[in-house]
Structures are given as structure tokens and as C-alpha cells.
């Protein structure tokens, strides 16, 4: 997303809890070794788990189910709001050319009272856009040496009637970005877990690392490209990344949709120094809905947003969690 230019709450009952349980069980059923391919086809051809590849036990280190009262903002102990159009001292327009101004207004970021967080971009009468961009306060979400980390969210993509220029995203950036306004990007690493552009009901996953125009081919990164995401604008789907450090010589990133692997990046695709700088440390999570910018423009071959773009289509987030194994 950047480089394209408190503990668990009460347990709910009912369909939403069942969906989360099933998604978790599906994720836990994936092999933790032997998935070394970089495509969904490779995942489909992987052997079934054996005693040597049995799923490890996961421990939840952070979870938010967004149970705030209707119209309220986020818990400031867990989340912070990015405001304006750039980090202090950082690249303009969040480094991507997007045109919205991020705010902490409950017009743009709010609980809906039904267990969801909504991030809603709004265009005013003068044509100016505001939206929301929020980050986890914690920057220590990390896979321990010899273990794994999963960052996951259940969300519904925006569904504008006319969406050329919409850019919703769920992603994570290396902890060392925060003190310096991400001026050390992409070296500190970025994991794009879900991005869609132009209301296509698709999604892409991407790994950013190293130097500009370097091993990760940034600003584009090592990416799945846009993939089909049927129903992702009309219902909740779970997007996840697992950072797997169980083998220090063959670490891996595995991205999944609803528990099915869609893409993977292997340590040996870049140099050891580049991989460790981008992966072997803490991350913070980010949710945002941008308007316009390099990714929507690249996909449409035009300058977004379009004149008829719809205002007020929100990304709806049902839950967010971080789990680790040791």
C-alpha cells in the first residue's frame, strides 16, 4: 500500500462467531511445512499434514472485535489515527499519490454498534475527500525465531455504485517505519494482506522489501497481482498472512483468503540480508481506504478518481487478530 509510487473481548455467539471459529480451524489445518510454492496451485498440490507437519498450537496475542457503541471512535490504547496527507517528514500523499485527507472524525472512522468498525471515505460539496487510516499502537507483532505469526482480519470490501479510484487496504509495516515517517521504506518491510482497487471485487497480496527498484521490484513489490474475490463486496471474508520462521534457512510468507492459500513468498527469492531486514522483526497493522493514487491508476490506465465516483462506501471490519506459535 505505502510503496506503490487488547486482549480478547467477550465471546459472541451466533453466525459471526461460528464463521470465525471455522476460519480459525481451517487456518490451523494448513501444513506448517512443505508449502514452499508461490502460487495457489502449489498450495493445492501440497501433501496432507503428517506427524512432522502437524499444525502448531496458536496463542492469540492481540484481538479486537470492534464492539464499541454506535458512533464511537477507536480505543486509543489499542489504535492510533493517521491524520492529514502524510507522516511528519514523510512522503507527500502517503507516498502513493492518493488524494484524500485522513481524519479522526467519527464521520470517517466509527463503530456501527453491531460489532464492526467502518472506514468511510466522503467527498464534500467542493470535491474534497476525507477518509480514515488507522494503525495498531503495538509495533511488536512478530514471528518468534523458530515459530510463526498470523495477522488476520475479517472484513467486507467497499461496494460503491461507481468506484473508480477506491483503494481499500489491510496491511502491516515494519516497526522501524514509525519513528522516521516511513522514510526507510521499503527496507523495513511491508506485508499487503488485502488490497482492492476501483471496486473490482478482487484482491491482491504483496511483499515489499529492500531498496527502490531492487530485489523486490519496488515500488510494485513481489505480488500476486489482482485475484478474483467473489462476494468480497457483499459479505465478510477473512484475509491473513502467516510469517513462518520455523526453518531459519527457509522462512516464508503465506497469504490466504478464507483459509485457502493464495500466494507465498520464500526467503530464497531475495538475499538473506534483505529478507531479515524486512521480515525478522515487529510489525504494526494498518487499515485504510484511500481515494486515487498509483495503484488504481495503474490498473485502470487512467487518472483516478473518476468524475462520477460514489462517496460514502465504507470498508467494514468485523474482527482483527494476531496469533503466534513458539
DSSP string for 152-183: EEEEE----SS-TTEEEEEEEEEGGGGGGTTT
Query: Does residue 2 belong to any structural domain of this protein?
Result: no
Query: Does residue 6 belong to any structural domain of this protein?
Result: no
Query: Does residue 62 belong to any structural domain of this protein?
Result: yes
Residue with cell 466522503: 122
Q: Residue 215 sits in which domain range?
A: 15-324
pTM here?
A: 0.85
User: pLDDT over 70 for what percent of the chain?
Assistant: 83
Q: Is the pLDDT of residue 48 over 60?
A: no
Query: Does residue 123 belong to any structural domain of this protein?
Result: yes
**Calpha distance 228→250 (Å, rounded):** 29
Q: Measuring CA to CA, how many Å separate 106 from each of 166, 199, 271?
A: 20, 23, 44
Range from 5-14, 19-28, 40-49, 166-175 that averages highest in pLDDT: 166-175
Q: What is the pLDDT of residues 247-285, one digit of tens each?
A: 999 999 999 999 999 999 999 999 999 999 999 999 999
Cell numbers found for residue 190: 511491508
- Do residues 96 and 87 touch, judged by C-beta distance below 8 A? no
Q: Is the pLDDT of residue 46 over 70?
A: no
The H or E element containing residue 324 is strand 315-324
pLDDT of amino acid 252 = 98
State how beta strands 101-102 and 129-131 pair: parallel
Looking at the structure of the chain, the number of domains it has is 1
Query: Does residue 8 belong to any structural domain of this protein?
Result: no
Query: Does residue 145 belong to any structural domain of this protein?
Result: yes
- Any idea what the CATH number is for the domain that residue 172 is in? 2.60.120.200
Query: Does residue 181 belong to any structural domain of this protein?
Result: yes
Query: Does residue 10 belong to any structural domain of this protein?
Result: no
Model confidence at 83, pLDDT cuts 50, 70, 90, reads very high
pLDDT of amino acid 17 = 39
Amino acid at each position: 500500500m505505502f510503496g506503490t509510487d487488547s486482549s480478547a473481548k467477550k465471546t459472541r455467539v451466533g453466525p459471526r462467531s461460528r464463521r470465525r471459529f471455522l476460519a480459525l480451524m481451517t487456518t490451523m489445518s494448513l501444513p506448517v511445512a512443505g508449502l514452499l510454492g508461490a502460487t495457489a496451485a502449489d498450495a493445492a498440490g501440497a501433501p496432507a499434514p503428517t506427524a512432522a507437519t502437524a499444525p502448531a498450537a496458536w496463542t492469540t496475542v492481540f484481538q479486537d472485535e470492534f464492539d464499541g457503541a454506535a458512533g464511537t471512535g477507536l480505543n486509543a490504547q489499542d489504535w492510533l489515527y493517521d491524520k492529514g496527507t502524510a507522516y511528519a517528514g514523510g512522503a507527500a500523499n502517503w507516498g502513493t499519490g492518493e488524494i484524500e485527507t485522513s481524519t479522526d472524525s467519527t464521520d470517517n472512522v466509527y463503530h456501527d454498534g453491531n460489532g464492526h468498525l467502518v472506514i468511510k471515505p466522503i467527498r464534500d460539496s467542493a470535491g474534497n475527500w476525507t477518509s480514515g487510516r488507522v494503525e495498531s499502537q503495538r509495533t511488536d507483532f512478530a514471528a518468534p525465531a523458530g515459530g510463526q505469526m498470523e495477522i488476520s482480519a475479517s472484513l467486507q470490501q467497499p461496494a460503491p455504485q461507481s468506484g473508480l479510484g477506491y483503494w481499500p487496504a489491510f496491511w502491516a509495516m515494519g516497526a522501524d517505519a514509525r519513528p522516521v515517517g516511513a522514510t526507510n521504506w521499503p527496507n523495513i518491510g511491508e506485508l499487503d494482506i488485502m488490497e482492492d482497487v476501483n471496486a473490482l471485487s478482487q484482491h491482491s497480496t504483496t511483499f515489499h522489501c529492500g531498496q527502490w527498484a531492487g530485489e523486490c521490484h519496488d515500488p510494485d513489490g513481489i505480488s500476486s497481482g489482482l485475484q478474483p474475490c467473489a462476494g468480497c463486496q457483499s459479505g465478510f471474508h477473512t484475509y491473513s498472512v502467516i510469517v513462518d520462521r520455523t526453518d531459519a534457512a527457509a522462512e516464508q510468507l503465506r497469504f490466504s483468503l478464507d483459509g485457502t492459500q493464495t500466494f507465498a513468498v520464500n526467503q530464497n527469492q531475495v538475499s538473506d540480508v534483505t529478507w531479515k531486514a524486512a521480515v525478522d522483526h515487529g510489525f504494526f497493522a494498518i487499515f485504510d481506504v484511500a481515494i486515487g493514487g498509483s495503484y488504481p491508476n495503474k490498473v485502470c490506465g487512467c487518472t483516478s478518481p473518476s468524475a462520477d465516483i460514489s462517496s460514502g462506501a465504507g470498508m467494514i471490519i468485523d474482527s482483527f487478530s494476531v496469533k503466534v506459535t513458539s
